[in-house]
Structure 1
Amino acid sequence: MGRSSGGQVCLSRIEVFGAYLMPSGAWARGIVFMAAAIWVALAFILGVPVDKLWLKYVGVIAALVVLLLLAFDVFAWRWLPEWIVKRPNIRGTWRAELRSNWLKDDGQPLVSECFIVIHQTYTTMCVEVLFPGSDSTSTSADIVKGGGRPSLWYTYRSEAHAPNRDGNPPHRGAVSLFVETSPRRSLAGDYWTERGTTGRIQTSGHSKKIAGSFMSAQSLDYAS
């Protein structure tokens, strides 16, 4: 990450019995087809004639199915235990400290305050890391489990603000953050950049609110 880093990542997926499905046009059409098939099957089982009025409600059923899936995707999944949804809820703003092997002008390694902002639904996740002089955009991300402990992996592209670009050109890198759940929830891990710098990131507090800038993140209240 060098002087600054972060990422915004968006990855869509749904886990069904251990398999991950990527929502797409075909996926959406499949939902509509299944709703129609179920509706027609119920009509035959109940002995109800399948006329135009009956078929008209197929669209209603399909719309309800989509709305229920969207409700689950956006917020309802957070109410279920993690052992059911298989995804930790890490949404919000995390106060963090970055320690880099990049050396400042005085020859000391860089230590910087930063804020990790995570926009999360069940099927998508976007991550930003806010510094006072840079913006970042991630290119990929995923939550994976290794040894039973979940971790957030993502790649990113970082670009400094115009007044801070001298000596800090855009760069790419990768981040791996373990999601600790006990005794308190926190994120901790390492990063690497194409410039040859590496470092460590450790969070020290979490807010459920989503910060839109470094200054707004500084003004939030954080639970340790």
Structure 2
Amino acid sequence: MQNVTIKSSLYLLLGASAIAWVLLALIENKDLSNPVDFFGLLPKVVTIDLLAIFAFTKWGWKFRLFRGWLVPFPNLNGTWVGFIYSDWINPETGEKPPRIPVMLTVNQTFFHISCVMRTGEMESFSYAEGFQIDSDKQIKNIAYCYTSKPRLSVSDRSMPHDGTSVFRIIEKPQLKLSGRYWTERATTGEIILDYHSSELLEAIPEELSKHPIRKEPV
């Protein structure tokens, strides 16, 4: 998939350069069969190409018309909300804990992506992120490693730790992230998130924190 995208990018850039050359020649009444006129337009064509590349990497990559053939990964920017379903067994009760309201914020550009996850007791920050996209195998995942920092009020039972999350990206019929996580504390579980908004929120929405608790994934 990556090779196809690179080839598509090169073809698009060459095509755009050719169009720019022709349009500039018409505007400035240049003869492209004349080497002096042809190469004389080169600095302006390069400038146009650089501006087009800047605009694409800044804004254009988000448009769906470029998805697949030019941009292999989806736009995940925004706030995602849902629940964590931990596999941890409480030694005192012998049961799993209730599901935990959680919020994930994704800050994504064409070149970089960062993920911050928040619950009522902790914040985790990604430090290594990447997409796994293979349309032929129907694979569309995002994975990242993170450092979790619990609140000081729960430090007696929850220590800072590192972990990894892998999410399957679901776009149809609605945006959803369905994934799993594991940590260096030997805890594992599931996380199911729905797309909430394009705004990067800094606290879990009140309606989510008051959501009825269930012990099994929905």
TM-score for the superposition, normalised by structure 1:
0.67
Alignment counterpart, residue 92 of structure 1, candidates 63, 70, 78 = 78
Map 1:55-74; keep pairs closer than 5 Å. Answer: 58=43, 65-74=49-58
**Alignment: residue pair count:** 183
Shift of 1:124: 1.3
CA RMSD between the two structures: 3.3
Hey, what does 1:3 align to over in structure 2?
A: none
Distance 1:83 1:19, change over 3 A: closer
Query: Once the 2 structures are TM-superposed, how far is the Cα of residue 103 of structure 1 from its aligned partner?
Result: 3.6
Identify the residue that residue 109 of structure 1 maps to in structure 2. 96
Runs (5+) with no aligned partner, structure 1: 1-14, 21-34
| Contact 1:87–1:122 (8 Å) recurs in 2 | no
Identity across the alignment (%): 23
Q: Higher relative contact order by CA 8 Å / sep ≥ 6: 1 or 2?
A: 1
Question: 2:169 is matched with which residue?
Answer: 179
The reply to whether residue 139 of structure 1 matches residue 127 of structure 2 is yes
Q: Alpha-carbon deviation of 1:179? A: 0.6
Task: Write the distance in 2 (CA, Å) between the matches of 1:106 and 1:75.
Answer: 52
1:75 maps onto 2:64 in alignment: no
- The TM-score with structure 2 as length reference comes to 0.69
The answer to which structure has the higher strand fraction is 1
Q: 1:193 to 1:206 in 2, by over 3 A?
A: same
Partner of 2:114: 126
Of structures 1 and 2, the larger Rg is shown by: 2
Task: Give the distance between the partners of 1:166 and 1:67, measured in 2 at CA.
Answer: 54
2:194 aligned residue: 204
Is the contact made by 2:126 and 2:145 (CA closer than 8 Å) also made in structure 1? yes
Please report how far the alpha carbon of residue 67 of structure 1 lies from its aligned counterpart in structure 2 after TM superposition: 4.0
